[in-house]
Structure 1
């Protein structure tokens, strides 16, 4: 471009009477050159990689058409995936890696690695691990291994080996049976293993409890017990026993009627207690069921709005920070009393899948690539959603856009 500019200027200056024209043309071409250079700078100069190079996805990441945050999003990448990259570029403060034709990922969620695989060597170990969030069981230590089972919250297992992969510690709980630390934690209690330990012995107690968020009523003290009713926010009940399970205190508010501290707190005021008659039964009317569902949806959206501005932290499940699935887990559990699981893989199966044309407020939006879900958010109506977007950003309201279009929705509350 600069050589062309100098050639034009030289030719123009041959004739003195064209000097003014030269001045104008030079200014125009210089401006054009600056604009052209600016475009290149914004997009990032690409540098070809001479040898086989690999990049590993550390956080769920967007794939963009060109190496800049202004480019169209054309897909998403799951944590732990490894790709070959052929070019690099620098833009927006990130190094960008080209992993395919018109497919770039930023260093905000990825880093170079020397290996093309994500496999890891297991180390003999022994101990117990407890399932903190509904989790997939996999045939090996890594997200690339097939899912061969599901593990319930509260279950305790003996592990015989550990391994590192995809940013998690993996625990071997049986032959070809592994669980990640994303949903499990080392357990030092005395509970027997290999079976769910969400049940617990109740202790006689008395007092009142107030429902802070719309909550499920269960037939026993634990999330493994069946839901036999729903409790409205603000209601006050007398409890006659307490128990501890799944990390919560459970209050018995009637025969086979329990509520968890996730949505209820002790009450010391003077208001009279209700009886647990707000539960859904076979004689409940369609109107009351619809009203209860609407109240839960409103509570979920209201709680999500209160989290706006809190930072994205990978693995965060509240109350001070969140990742995308952690935010969904938190608002549904604490506002509706529904445990949808702590990661996107479980959450996409927590309700009924709906098309994007049939979305209703309270549905969960999912983004997927090649059948793998990598992001979710809460739809609040009017083409908007609340999400914990990515590292460096905060929980916010966003608008559905063709540049980042969701794949499907899931209706949990209905």
Structure 2
């Protein structure tokens, strides 16, 4: 028979024929005091439910991963490994008979705590703020780029009433974010970081021609579309990406 008790929203299922509860210590989960120490026929052990969804990052060796075990007392390899740098949620923690700390990350899934580092709340908040700022900047870039659609194409012009291709991108970034990305396609392509065409985000710069010395540039605005100063007869237009006129490289210049 299996006894199940709900502690702060987390089920700890413990087989009654293997484990007995003692009152040697108290476990507090979401303000509820519960007997904590657990002993079994395999020797003394201690299990604690996480009081909140604690996140930890795997800290092992770049390019490698750590083993996931089926339990912490007599561990057997599950065949799964978690790569260095990946973040997981801790459901419970335990200390085995040898004094080693373990984290439960799923049903029948345990990892050794020594291969992890805790993710600080302040770091997560900071990352969230940065992501929000990037999204705000990207939207401003898209808005300014869309507002330029219909303007004239004039070689050597960088706005506000007429543009060439790199003059448009320079103007949009300067007006939307205050960021200076230089004046020509040859120098703009050296800014930011390269991103794949499958991972485009609004605000990314798209280049055509040589990856190191492109002849044309536009701004990705989402939904498989981009804005660019196309040619004298077309002016500034919004177009869809197609195999007939496909960029050779994309760069992300937003911080």
TM-score, normalised by the number of residues in structure 2: 0.50
